[in-house]
């Protein structure tokens, strides 16, 4: 492991098209089409959820719109690797959806129904655990998952596993002391943890400049003697590649910090109104690099998709979203008696 | 007098005290341009500048420690914890340091600071946005703990808290913010910390509560009045120091005591109130002391059904009081 | 049976469980080559290696969070907090996360972990090495809290705690470590969590206590026996879940209840015990419930005079019991 | 303020003599003699306190032996500046003594007597506040003072003061999350805080290698965009100069991290036995650079002191220590009734 890590910023394609001319290492065309489909499905659900909030059917939601390329690119790398465990955070809607939940399960969770796969309606949507898809997110307390993910990695090593742990968090979470503690411990024990910072340059209303003096979160990896990279989080393939490399490094040599530069398209949550604090036009400009659009463009350019297929995918995912909404809407909430279950484990 | 909401009363109190004393300042997450997530500090950054309304990085321990350090230098900081659920990363500074600063310096270093926290449930906040945290601070000598339930009390007590030379944990029940409205005098006033308030006079039994559930107790009392039971409703307002005199006086008068709170029953504030009466008003008690409190599960779940099942509602309270009256 | 000290019993329990189950491991500050500052883990690093006895950096939040994360993966970590006073930086992981993990995942993720903490005063530890922290965890559903006072109980309960699938806060009173000695069976045994123990049978009044003060209660009981008062001394051993049945049974038998602890009186565990009796054994009570507890000052100061003034000693307890018996 | 700070290691004089041939900037010869005297007094008290512990008269003590040059060098800079406020930690015995306490006051504090100037016997020795000497140390909870010192600096700025705050901590404290939070906040607001890490490469028994991967704590300043320097903490004059420069920088441009490399000569505290975990001979080797000896040598070489004066200072300070011990020993402990005072401020 390099003792003096350098911060490497990967090429930033300013036009929004992915820079890869050929298939990225380890992927088939069908993988990309598959992930495009998951991306569109996630986006469709995300938009619908926001609307359902306005209709009073979903009490709260944090949107992943604008973060999806980072989430799905890293997820794709984890899936291809086959032995990764994920500690996402509350903004990782697309990640959690794409990891394998059905649209119905997603909607159940957002409406607080008994069918919620994460917590049986006890927690905020998609929070708790989805063990079948190797995901744990105990809370939405910012940065609380970081030390836990490091402990998980430690336990995997103790148990003889080769598992690599991916833990996700925002730029705001980097201010928490526990982020420092987690990275420090992971570095001392050279644990296979990839710290993925989805940097959208906001913690609710607080801009990055009020959170830190440094330009790049990735530069802080130097404090722990492990590598840190800043990548274009709007570019799914770049995120895939960076994560794939990071997984290899992590398994062999220890932690990596990946900073993925993303844009938050929506307000912080459905409870927030970002017009209070966001410069006009910022979101519009950011949407020019909407991963749903740019990824489709790339796949069409590469001949993996046609416009017709794109349209079909859009129609199909929308149908799933509609159906899921209807099914979840009429499904049962958890029974009141459940209140007292599982305070303790047997 | 104008009718205002709790959040308006809180905002007014902060604004007036900032105007009155340049040592008063606010620090917290999103308190500046955003005005706080509940808008308690809306407009203050514009009026007093970013030096007195400081948007802190997302790090509660530092917010608390920095406020504390500023208090050492004579400032009167008002750190805001965005939701009480997020106070935990900071409690070393609060329970460990702030509460013991005056004592640990034999009085040389007072700590004039008010830690504001929106707390409590009933707003679909789930496990991590509904927490009742009062007991932990109630059980910490060196802290004062205030938990008002009306705009009038909130404003008067917050102003007193800001002028107090001790760390005051100021608990604002989120659900009361916009729901509870009431008259607030136009002229300047403060209310004494440490004084409970009899919100309803009664002779048959005493209910002690605070925060959101106080309102539910008043509703329940009305129900029982219709059934011929005259309930006295006592609002603690300040949890620490506890107004033991007012509690004991009421219990001695009615001979029957119920304690109501949203927080988990075991080891909650209600246990202390019950123990107080069982120790110092024993001869006056005509019935077992009743506690109608949140169950011992980790706060309110997200689903409506589960949240409802958790909450001590006016119906549940009325039922408990009915049983107590009938004993 | 051999006579052992509390610290020896603790060490044996950890050693035996580590031998029995390779999932058990220790993590904390100076637990390795140093064997912990109280030597609770002495020799374990040599025996089980540094991978199972991990010297952590000085950062309690990470010790707790890392232990918790390891528990998610099925390990059975035993994080050590060097002194309970230093638990505060870590309580977000403990109160916020560990306690709600099982509940917040609807039972999918159990948390088999034991958080060991030396606690309590009487050792000239001053404000930051004497803290009684039990109430904060007692009031947190999802945690279990164990506080033994003899070597026999310590060993049997620690072994059970390690085998339990929930986060157990295991409180070891520092002053008992070497002072309290007692017989410990040579053969394997465990004791059930959640069961109080009648340490002395009696018929005139019930004293409920735990930890160091339990021994002082026994001394006071002997004093009163000489005066013809027959005191039953009940050792809670487990604070959470509280053994309400045993408490109520004893109170119903004697009709008089005193609660004794070193922790601050207001809002302490004693308040809950008193509230329990005042709620569920009211008809049996012949006297006000007495609480003989630490005063409401931030724990024990350093100077001998002040520490002595704080501490509920056997003399102070005897006096309280005498008054209760005479009521 | 430099955005890309570099870590500068100042020349290490391996023979233990100070490298300065002339008087350091801003100092008179009498200053150095004065500080030498304070150093010897502090050492004398420190040694006596340890002995008194063995005699059962002092319940606990953390020795500053081996750390004195760092503590007194920085104190000298603060004193010469005239407008500094100090947040020391529990190992800063020499600093607290040299800041102006009488030997009697020191002994009162260690014996838990009413004359303890820091806490009236409520706290561990020399813990609480010594406001006449501009010192606050609320607790011995590791790293708790850092954010407080930053808040103090913030308040000074609000009040229009020019005060610079010096906060002291060990290498162990750098692992605490709050250390990260304190430095991050100070950097964002460019507050006049000097973070002084007395790095003795041990946190009780835990060596630096088990605490962090980086070689120099000072390198972590880069994470906050402010300068960090590693200096020889056994060299009083070097510590003076580095701190003096840091004060100037801090007042004008914001935080500085000063890492002072020191040696812990004694066990962690009187409760510890470092033979359990320390390589044989380590302490003996470290003592070759004992600041009490090397500083005397320098002052003799520079003609500021004679051996005779050195001997006189030793005798005089020892006499003060003896006297202080006797006075404190027979003085009264705090009255039991004091237990209930000052839980709250009026
Ligand atoms: C400990 C804690 N403090 C405060 C909050 C409230 N809060 C929720 S999200 C958030 C901002 C997080 O920003 P960032 O980490 O950048 O993530 P993003 O939402 O931008 O993806 C805040 C302050 C919280 N959940 N947890
Ligand atoms: C939060 C906290 N955890 C643990 C301790 C116990 N403890 C006291 S000093 C110490 C080691 C500190 O090492 P370092 O910061 O390097 O300072 P040094 O003693 O070496 O000068 C520990 C673990 C404490 N006082 N506070
Ligand atoms: Mg962000
Ligand atoms: Mg050290």
* pLDDT digits 0-9 by tens, C151-194: 999 999 999 999 999 999 999 999 999 999 999 999 999 999 99
Q: Is the ipTM reported for this complex over the cut 0.95?
A: yes
At D297-346, the pLDDT tens digits run 999 999 999 999 999 999 999 999 999 999 999 999 999 999 999 999 99
Q: Assign A160 to helix, strand or coil.
A: coil
Residue D13 has pLDDT above 90, yes or no: no
Chain C residue numbers with beta carbons less than 8 Å from the beta carbon of A147 are 61-62, 64-66, 68-69, 93
Residue A293 has pLDDT above 90, yes or no: yes
From residue A270, how far is each of A47, A105, A113, A317 by CA, in Å?
11, 20, 19, 23
pLDDT at D11: 35
pLDDT at A3: 33
Q: How far is it, in rounded angstroms, from Cα C137 to Cα C143?
A: 7
pLDDT at A82: 98
Q: Tell me how crowded residue A318 is: count the other CB atoms within 10 A of its CB.
A: 16
Tell if the CB–CB gap between B298 and C266 is shorter than 8 Å: no
At B220-257, the pLDDT tens digits run 999 999 999 999 999 999 999 999 999 999 999 999 99
Q: How far is it, in rounded angstroms, from Cα A302 to Cα A310?
A: 13
Residue C182's DSSP bridge partners are C4
Decide: residue D2, CB within 10 A, 0-12 exposed, 13-18 middle, 19+ buried: exposed
How many contacts does C have with D, using Cβ atoms within 8 A? 117
Tell if the CB–CB gap between A141 and C165 is shorter than 8 Å: no
Chain D residue numbers with beta carbons less than 8 Å from the beta carbon of A213 are 3, 184, 187-188, 224-226
Residue C14 lies in a domain: yes
Rg of chain D over Cα atoms, rounded to whole angstroms, equals 19
What percent of chain D shows pLDDT beyond 90?
A: 93
Q: Is the dihedral of CA B88, B94, B99, B105 positive or negative?
A: positive
Please indicate, yes or no, whether residues C291 and C147 belong to a single structural domain of this protein. no
Please indicate, yes or no, whether residues C136 and C219 belong to a single structural domain of this protein. no
Residue C213 has pLDDT above 50, yes or no: yes
What percent of chain B shows pLDDT beyond 70?
A: 100
Residues of A with CB under 8 A from a CB of B: 59-60, 112-114, 116, 119, 121-125, 127, 139-143, 172-173, 175-178, 203-206, 210-212, 271-272, 276-277, 333-340, 343
Residue D15's pLDDT band (cuts 50, 70, 90): very low
At D113-134, the pLDDT tens digits run 999 999 999 999 999 999 999 9
Residue D3 has pLDDT above 60, yes or no: no
Please indicate, yes or no, whether residues C138 and C212 belong to a single structural domain of this protein. no
C1 CB within 8 Å of a chain D CB = no
What DSSP element (H or E) covers C241?
none
Please indicate, yes or no, whether residues C176 and C203 belong to a single structural domain of this protein. no
Q: From the list D119, D156, D341, which residue is nearest B104 (CB)?
A: D119
Q: What is the mean pLDDT of residues D108-116?
A: 98
Residue B190 lies in a domain: no
Of C130, C151, C184, which closes a domain? Answer: C184
Residue positions of B annotated with a catalytic role: 129
Residues 51-80 of chain C whose Cβ lies under 8 A from any Cβ of chain A? 51-52, 56-57, 59, 61-62, 64-75, 77
pLDDT at A6: 40
Of C161, C184, C207, which closes a domain? Answer: C184
pLDDT at D22: 73
Of B184, B216, B234, which closes a domain? Answer: B184
Q: How far is it, in rounded angstroms, from Cα D102 to Cα D85?
A: 20
Q: Determine which residue's CA is closest to atom 11 belonging to ligand 2.
A: D203
The CATH number for B164's domain is: 3.40.50.970
Residues with CB under 6 A from ligand 2: C 29, 58, 60, 82, 86, 89; D 91, 140-142, 169-173, 198, 200, 202-204, 264, 268
Please indicate, yes or no, whether residues B161 and B221 belong to a single structural domain of this protein. no
CB D2 within 8 A of CB D228: no
Please indicate, yes or no, whether residues B153 and B237 belong to a single structural domain of this protein. no
The CATH number for B231's domain is: 3.40.50.920
**A129: DSSP letter:** E
Q: What is the mean pLDDT of residues A189-194?
A: 98
Residue C314 lies in a domain: yes
What DSSP element (H or E) covers C84?
none
Chain C residue numbers with beta carbons less than 8 Å from the beta carbon of A181 are 57, 59, 61-62, 65
Please indicate, yes or no, whether residues B160 and B238 belong to a single structural domain of this protein. no
In sequence order, which residues have a C-beta less than 8 Å from that of residue D151 and are 6 or more positions away?
B65, B66, B67, B68, B69, B70, B71, B72, B73, B77
Q: Determine which residue's CA is closest to atom 17 belonging to ligand 2.
A: D170
Please indicate, yes or no, whether residues C145 and C119 belong to a single structural domain of this protein. yes
pTM of the model: 0.97
Residue D206's DSSP bridge partners are D203
Token digits of residue A315: 């129609």
Token digits of residue B167: 């760390």
Q: How far is it, in rounded angstroms, from Cα B246 to Cα A53?
A: 45
At A204-240, the pLDDT tens digits run 999 999 999 999 999 999 999 999 999 999 999 999 9
Residue D17 has pLDDT above 90, yes or no: no
Residue A293's closest CA among A13, A28, A17, A24?
A17
pLDDT at A22: 73
From residue C301, how far is each of C126, C128, C215, D161 by CA, in Å?
4, 9, 22, 35
pLDDT at C47: 98
Looking at chain A, how many residues does it have? 346
Residue D177's closest CA among A221, B80, A143?
A143
Delineate the domains of chain D, giving CATH numbers in brackets: 31-329 (3.40.50.970)
pLDDT at C1: 85
Token digits of residue A164: 């690599």
Please report how the helices D68-81 and D29-54 are oriented relative to each other, as an axis angle in degrees rounded to 10. Answer: 130
Please indicate, yes or no, whether residues B202 and B125 belong to a single structural domain of this protein. no
- Rounded to the nearest 5 percent, the helix, strand and coil shares of chain C are 45, 20, 35
What DSSP element (H or E) covers C70?
helix C60-72
Chain B residue numbers with beta carbons less than 8 Å from the beta carbon of C291 are 275, 279
Tell if the CB–CB gap between A205 and B55 is shorter than 8 Å: yes
Q: Best of D167, D203, D272 to mutate for ligand 2, by most ligand atoms within 8 A of CB?
A: D203
Residue B115 has pLDDT above 80, yes or no: yes
Please indicate, yes or no, whether residues C236 and C291 belong to a single structural domain of this protein. yes
Q: Best of B82, B83, B90, B127 to mutate for ligand 1, by most ligand atoms within 8 A of CB?
A: B82
Please indicate, yes or no, whether residues C151 and C214 belong to a single structural domain of this protein. no
Please indicate, yes or no, whether residues C72 and C95 belong to a single structural domain of this protein. yes
Domain encompassing residue B118:
2-184
pLDDT at D266: 98
Chain C residue numbers with beta carbons less than 8 Å from the beta carbon of D59 are 124, 302
Q: Which residue has the higher pLDDT, A6 or C317?
A: C317
Residue B90 lies in a domain: yes
At D213-256, the pLDDT tens digits run 999 999 999 999 999 999 999 999 999 999 999 999 999 999 99
Q: What is the mean pLDDT of residues D140-155?
A: 98
DSSP A8-72: EEPP--TTSS---SSPPTT--HHHHHHHHHHHHHHHHHHHHHHHHHHTTS-S-----TTTHHHHH
Atom of ligand 2 nearest to the CA of D144: 1
What DSSP element (H or E) covers A195?
strand A193-199
What percent of chain A shows pLDDT beyond 70?
A: 94
What percent of chain B shows pLDDT beyond 90?
A: 100
Q: Assign C3 to helix, strand or coil.
A: strand
Residue C233 lies in a domain: yes
Q: From the list C280, C282, C298, which residue is nearest B103 (CB)?
A: C298
Q: From the list A122, A152, A346, which residue is nearest C104 (CB)?
A: A122
| Average pLDDT of the residues of chain D | 94
At C74-132, the pLDDT tens digits run 999 999 999 999 999 999 999 999 999 999 999 999 999 999 999 999 999 999 999 99
Token digits of residue D161: 């003061």
Residue C209 lies in a domain: yes
Residue B67's pLDDT band (cuts 50, 70, 90): very high
Residue A297's closest CA among A15, A12, A11, A17?
A17
Residue D210's closest CA among C48, A218, C64, C33?
C33
Domain count, chain B: 2
Residue A128's DSSP bridge partners are A137
DSSP B279-325: HHSGGG--SPPEEEEE-SSSS--SSHHHHHHHS--HHHHHHHHHHHH
Residue A8 has pLDDT above 90, yes or no: no
Q: How many angstroms is it from C100 CA to the middle of ligand 1?
A: 19
Q: How far is it, in rounded angstroms, from Cα A151 to Cα A185?
A: 9
pLDDT at D45: 98
Q: Assign D85 to helix, strand or coil.
A: strand
Residue D20 has pLDDT above 80, yes or no: no
pLDDT at A12: 35
Cα A109 to the chain's mean position, in Å?
A: 17
Residue A16's pLDDT band (cuts 50, 70, 90): very low
Q: How far is it, in rounded angstroms, from Cα B145 to Cα B168?
A: 6
Tell if the CB–CB gap between B89 and C88 is shorter than 8 Å: no
């Amino acid at each position: 492991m390099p003792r003096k890590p350098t911060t490497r910023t990967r090429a930033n394609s300013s036009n929004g098209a992915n820079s890869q001319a050929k298939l990225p290492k380890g992927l088939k065309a069908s993988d990309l089409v598959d992930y495009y489909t998951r991306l569109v499905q996630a986006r469709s659900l995300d938009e619908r959820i926001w609307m359902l909030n306005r209709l009073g059917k979903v009490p709260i939601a944090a949107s992943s719109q604008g973060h999806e390329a980072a989430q799905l690119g890293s997820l794709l790398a984890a899936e291809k690797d086959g032995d990764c465990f994920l500690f996402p955070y509350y903004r990782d809607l697309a990640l959690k959806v794409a990891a394998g939940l059905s649209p119905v399960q997603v909607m159940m969770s957002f409406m607080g129904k008994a069918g919620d796969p994460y917590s049986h309606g006890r927690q905020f949507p998609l929070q708790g655990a989805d063990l079948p898809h190797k995901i744990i997110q105990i809370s939405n307390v910012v940065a609380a998952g970081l030390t836990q993910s490091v402990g998980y990695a430690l336990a995997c090593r103790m148990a003889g596993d080769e598992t690599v742990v991916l833990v996700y968090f925002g730029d705001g979470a980097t201010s928490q002391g526990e982020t420092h503690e987690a990275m420090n411990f992971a570095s001392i024990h050279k644990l296979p943890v990839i710290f993925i910072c989805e940097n959208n340059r906001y913690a609710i209303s607080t801009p990055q400049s009020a959170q830190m003096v440094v330009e790049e979160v990735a530069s802080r990896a130097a404090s722990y003697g492990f590598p840190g990279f800043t990548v274009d989080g709007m570019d799914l393939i770049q995120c895939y590649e960076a994560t794939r490399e990071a997984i290899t490094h992590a398994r062999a040599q220890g932690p990596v910090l990946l900073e993925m530069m993303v844009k938050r398209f929506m307000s912080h949550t459905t409870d927030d109104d970002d017009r209070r604090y966001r410069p006009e036009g910022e979101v519009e400009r950011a949407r020019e690099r909407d991963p749903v659009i740019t990824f489709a463009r790339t796949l069409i350019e590469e001949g993996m998709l046609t416009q017709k297929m794109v349209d079909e995918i859009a129609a199909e995912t929308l149908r799933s979203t509609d159906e899921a909404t209807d099914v979840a809407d009429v499904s049962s909430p958890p029974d009141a008696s459940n209140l007292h279950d599982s305070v303790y484990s047997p | 007098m104008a009718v205002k909401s709790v959040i308006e009363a809180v905002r007014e109190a902060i604004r007036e005290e900032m105007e009155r004393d340049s040592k008063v300042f606010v620090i917290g997450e999103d308190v500046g341009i955003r005005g706080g997530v509940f808008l308690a500090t809306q407009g203050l950054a514009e009026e007093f500048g970013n030096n007195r309304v400081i948007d802190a990085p997302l790090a509660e321990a530092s917010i608390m420690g920095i406020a504390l350090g500023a208090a050492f230098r004579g400032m009167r900081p008002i750190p805001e914890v965005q939701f009480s659920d997020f106070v935990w990363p900071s409690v070393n500074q609060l329970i460990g340091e702030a509460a013991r600063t005056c004592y640990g310096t034999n009085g040389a270093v007072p700590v004039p600071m008010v830690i504001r926290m929106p707390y409590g449930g009933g707003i679909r906040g789930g496990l991590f946005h509904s927490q009742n945290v009062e007991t932990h601070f109630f059980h910490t000598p060196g802290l004062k703990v205030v938990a008002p339930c009306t705009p009038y009390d909130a404003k008067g007590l917050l102003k007193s808290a800001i002028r107090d030379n001790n760390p005051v944990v100021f608990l604002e029940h989120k659900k009361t913010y916009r729901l509870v409205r009431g008259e607030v005098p136009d002229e300047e006033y403060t209310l004494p910390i440490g004084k409970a308030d009899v919100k309803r006079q009664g002779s048959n039994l005493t209910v002690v509560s605070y925060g959101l559930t106080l309102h539910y107790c008043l509703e329940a009392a009305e129900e029982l009045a219709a059934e011929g039971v005259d309930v006295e409703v006592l609002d603690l307002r300040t949890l620490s120091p506890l107004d033991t005199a007012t509690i004991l006086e009421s219990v001695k008068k009615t001979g029957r005591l119920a304690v109501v709170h949203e927080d988990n029953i075991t080891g909650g504030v209600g246990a202390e109130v019950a123990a107080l009466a069982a120790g110092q008003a024993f001869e006056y008690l005509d019935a077992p002391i009743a506690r109608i409190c949140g169950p011992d599960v980790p706060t309110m779940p997200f689903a409506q059904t589960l949240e409802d099942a958790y909450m001590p509602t006016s119906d549940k309270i009325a039922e408990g009081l009915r049983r107590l009256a009938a004993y």
